[in-house]
Structure 1
Amino acid sequence: MSHALIVDDDVDAATMLAALVAAEGFTVACAHTLRDARASLAMQPPDLVLLDLHLPDGNGMSLFDEGGLLANSQVVLITGQASLDTSIQALRLGVVDYLIKPLKQTQLRGILSRVVKPSVARAELDGAMAEWQKSGRFGHLWGRAPAMERIYQQIARVAGTAVSVLVTGESGTGKEVVARTIHDLSRRRNKPFLAVNCGAISPHLIESEVFGHEKGSFTGADRQHQGFFERAAGGTLFLDEITEMPAELQVKLLRVLETGTYMRVGSTQVQEADVRIVAATNRVPEQAVTDGKLREDLLYRLNVFPIALPPLRARREDVALLAEQLLVPICQSEGTTKRFTPAALAKLTAYRWPGNVRELRNVVQRSYVMSDGAHITEEWLPSDELQLPPDADGAALSPVPTAEARPAQDCVTIPIGSTMAQAERQLILATFAHYKQQRERTASVLGISLKTLYNRLREYAEDDPAEGKRTVELGSSLQ
């Protein structure tokens, strides 16, 4: 039977909490001062410590400084408000979760259901790192590059906690894969993992999808609907393209993060949210705040633990490993085994990969289909020098040089003093026009998804009426 220690100077509150914890099958001890807590920890090391910050003889955090007293215990803070500063300090010390006063029984039960001995959690993480050193795989991620090793260390550190994570990186770098790996290494691994693309849901429906709605709350609501928070209860909710979420909904998401409660659309009944949030964006978060795409207070709440994914071109040594691993399930599903030749792997490694791992996956699939025999050669692999179609006389036109070697007339001039948003706008529109409104090629060259390209073009039409008609015409082919 697991043992819990409650450290709280409020005797009545501690007694009530002890009864709730005991009802969940724990043995319980109470301490009302730091001195009593030290004695209880030395006498019977608990599996779980519910620790109040404010005690008569000091701050509860000071227990972390005392000779490993909490080394074999999971610590949950009891606090009136989980502030950003407290979250960061608690993360550094090893706190795994919060109980916010007034205590909610549902939240307490969720925490108690996820108690894992620190020694067991450390063994699981050690096993994941050992597997990476052996095969190059860490959770759902692959790669041996130093930049990825740093990512794995960050995931290992944050997975066992309850803090929010913000994953940034170019489109196609694997932000959802990072979120799933965090979930699978966390104490929530036996509960749902739900991934939501905030840019793929209609702004008129997104609140209902996120929080749910009651029957009759609006036209067409013929039954009660569970939102993402209810469906992911006890697990992890991954919010991709968080900057595409409407501003009014960002306010409600912030309230959920601060209070742990929400209401369905059309309801007055408060629901408790027991969900770990991992958010992601391919924008620069600070610039998104400046552009009005992300609330500053929501950024601070999400960005407790930032993880910045490197683009594939920054870890070229991983390209061959990734290509071979992406090929395995294709061979299994198609029933025929093929392998890349050394020359093919060398060509893959030399390519710049503007679409990152997503583009690599598509290239592997296409090259498997197009290659005859058991070997995939470099014939069907991409190159940074792109051949244009033949002209009217049938002669092949000159190849288009890469961005680095492109002549001045194919460049975009950005005046000094331009904002990042203005530079991005100018680059997207110029690239789209240069490739004659070929949406797939434009998105690939820019390293963004088709949905992101469409969203940007729609924004430009809304922000600049004088340019709106032309931009809408360009963007209409994306629909």
Structure 2
Amino acid sequence: MVELPPGVAGSEDGGDLARRAAASVPPRGKVLVVDDQKNMRATTAIVLRQAGHVVEEAEDGAAAVQRLQQETFDVVLTDLRMPSVDGMEVLRAAQRLAPETQVIVMTAYGTIESAVDAIREGAYDFLAKPFKEDELLLRVSKALEKRRLLGEVSLFAGEFRKRYGLEHVIGRSAAMREVLDRVVRVAPTDATVLVTGESGTGKELVARAIHVASRRGDKPFVPVNCAAITETLLESELFGHAKGAFTGAIRARRGLFEEANGGTLFIDEVGETAPGFQAKLLRALQEGEIRRVGESAPVQVDVRIIAATNQDLRRAISERRFREDLYYRLAVVPVRIPPLRERREDIPLLAAHFVQRYNRRTAEGKILIPEALARLVEHEWPGNVRELENAIEQAAALSPSREIRAGDVHIEAVRDVGPGRDEDRRTLAEAVEDAERRTIEAALARCEGDLGRVARELGVSPTTLWRRMKRLAIDARGAVPPA
């Protein structure tokens, strides 16, 4: 079952952590009643107030839009037919200004066409006038329940995430909860962290979150991409150099270690570094001091190191491309970011986030319809979140209407994987899955089916291991599932 978050037409929501975080949200709601007929508006408001809701009134669509710009409502109950600014415009304004607000449209004309149009535009429900009090209260109650669930997620994504610098780390899957839990626990310490994961999974976002939530959060966060700097310049870039240390060094220069003093140095693509540089980096970590190129005097630095790589450093160690002692210095706390194909339930959330960001930037009101979302969920995403973001941006820009349809989403279709498939024509995702399968099966054989030992050896939780075994169809007979 696919959960559809705000920004995706027909949304539903959930989340145990968020639900506990917002357990204190009161059951009554704040409702805006919009109707140009004063008697109808006043009567509806009275019924809702008697049920315990906080109710505000707007005499027409223009007044409603102005109120929505000034404050937030849980539910907007709006007449559909109004002069100048009608109920559809009120609906669009609510979606633009407060996407979690639930809109119920009222119409005295009650046609199927008007109801379908309103629902298609993103309304939660509709009421045909005249309606009974019980029917009104039931529809509002259901809309408030949906708003409450969305509010719980908003609380989790707002206060909790802001506190720990996680505003841009999107996901509520079990795999991402493991990541967030580890981030929250390691952030207050000064432990060195190694963030691993495929390209496009958001390793730097996680590194920044760790920094923001640490005691160094008000100090510099200095990133450096080792793959973007030549080997000859990398040492100078990180450690600095003296005047005349090499050709072109016309003045002394502080390195990034000194720039990050008191804060965090994020060393991205650390697996791309050469062994000679690795030895100097290891010394800096061990001694808490650096030597500028061309100088012999050490410089003391107080820097927390977070490193990241998309490479398998254990394999690099076995191939003598990476120092084992440096690996253990960096991987005091390893954090693995799962690829998008391992957390497909996060794709609707990410898609909605990117659609909303596009709408804020362009002042448009694009909506991703379920058929398009289903296509996104089916894709393997070898480029992970970065590829998904690109696909959403492209689809939103090229869609001729407000709705982003399946035909607007231009991604390579997922190819079937069958027996006898040409090994040379496998996708990257298929190759990775094959490697995962072989690694897990070999570990199962070594550990004689003991999933606890296998999980420890592979550096994942037993639950994650069991889930991957099921996804990869690994024969688990004789193995005991985690409690």
* TM-score for the superposition, normalised by structure 1: 0.54
Residue from 269, 272, 277 that aligns with 1:244: 272
Identify if the C-alpha distance between structure 1 residues 136 and 224 changes in structure 2 by more than 3 Å, giving closer, same or farther.
closer
Which position in structure 1 is the counterpart of 2:349?
321
Identify if the C-alpha distance between structure 1 residues 333 and 245 changes in structure 2 by more than 3 Å, giving closer, same or farther.
same
- By how many angstroms is 1:140 displaced? 2.6
CA deviation string 1:37-62 (max 9, x = no partner) = xxxxxxxxxxxxxxxxxxxxxxxxxx
What SS is found at the alignment partner of 2:254?
A: coil
CA deviation string 1:193-248 (max 9, x = no partner) = 11111111011111000111111111101112121111111111111111101111
- By how many angstroms is 1:408 displaced? 3.1
Letter in 2 for 1:194: V
- By how many angstroms is 1:385 displaced? 2.9
Q: Is 1:207 aligned with 2:232?
A: no
List alignment gaps of at least 5 residues for structure 2: 1-151, 427-431, 437-483
CA distance in 1, matches of 2:375, 2:190: 42
Which position in structure 1 is the counterpart of 2:333?
305
- By how many angstroms is 1:382 displaced? 4.2
Which position in structure 2 is the counterpart of 1:393?
none
Q: Is 1:224 aligned with 2:252?
A: yes
Residue from 352, 365, 387 that aligns with 2:393: 365
Which position in structure 1 is the counterpart of 2:320?
292
CA distance in 1, matches of 2:215, 2:338: 27
Which position in structure 2 is the counterpart of 1:269?
297
Residue from 153, 163, 182 that aligns with 2:210: 182
Letter in 2 for 1:265: V
Q: Which has the higher contact order (CA 8 A, sep 6+)?
A: 2
Is 1:371–1:380's contact at 8 Å kept on the other side of the alignment?
yes
Identify if the C-alpha distance between structure 1 residues 134 and 352 changes in structure 2 by more than 3 Å, giving closer, same or farther.
farther
- By how many angstroms is 1:288 displaced? 1.4
Identify if the C-alpha distance between structure 1 residues 134 and 226 changes in structure 2 by more than 3 Å, giving closer, same or farther.
closer
Identify if the C-alpha distance between structure 1 residues 351 and 216 changes in structure 2 by more than 3 Å, giving closer, same or farther.
same
Is 2:158–2:167's contact at 8 Å kept on the other side of the alignment?
no
Q: How does 1:365-444 map to 2 (within 5 A)?
A: 365-385=393-413, 401-402=415-416, 404-405=417-418, 408-409=421-422, 411=424
Q: How does 1:460-471 map to 2 (within 5 A)?
A: none
Is 2:242–2:249's contact at 8 Å kept on the other side of the alignment?
yes
Which position in structure 1 is the counterpart of 2:364?
336
CA distance in 2, matches of 1:410, 1:152: 36
CA distance in 1, matches of 2:184, 2:345: 23
Which position in structure 2 is the counterpart of 1:131?
156
CA deviation string 1:11-57 (max 9, x = no partner) = xxxxxxxxxxxxxxxxxxxxxxxxxxxxxxxxxxxxxxxxxxxxxxx
CA distance in 2, matches of 1:260, 1:283: 26
Q: Is 1:150 aligned with 2:178?
A: yes
State the Cα RMSD in Å: 2.7
What SS is found at the alignment partner of 2:206?
A: helix
What SS is found at the alignment partner of 2:241?
A: coil
Letter in 2 for 1:260: G
CA distance in 2, matches of 1:344, 1:332: 21
Q: Percent identity?
A: 44
Identify if the C-alpha distance between structure 1 residues 247 and 232 changes in structure 2 by more than 3 Å, giving closer, same or farther.
same
CA distance in 1, matches of 2:180, 2:158: 11
CA deviation string 1:88-147 (max 9, x = no partner) = xxxxxxxxxxxxxxxxxxxxxxxxxxxxxxxxxxxxxxx999624999884431101011
What SS is found at the alignment partner of 2:219?
A: coil
* TM-score for the superposition, normalised by structure 2: 0.53
Is 2:226–2:268's contact at 8 Å kept on the other side of the alignment?
yes
Which position in structure 1 is the counterpart of 2:189?
161
Letter in 2 for 1:324: A
Letter in 2 for 1:215: K
Which position in structure 2 is the counterpart of 1:173?
201
Which position in structure 1 is the counterpart of 2:262?
234
Which position in structure 1 is the counterpart of 2:74?
none
CA distance in 2, matches of 1:135, 1:185: 11
CA distance in 1, matches of 2:178, 2:233: 38
- By how many angstroms is 1:361 displaced? 1.0
Which position in structure 2 is the counterpart of 1:45?
none
Is 2:391–2:411's contact at 8 Å kept on the other side of the alignment?
no
Is 1:198–1:241's contact at 8 Å kept on the other side of the alignment?
yes
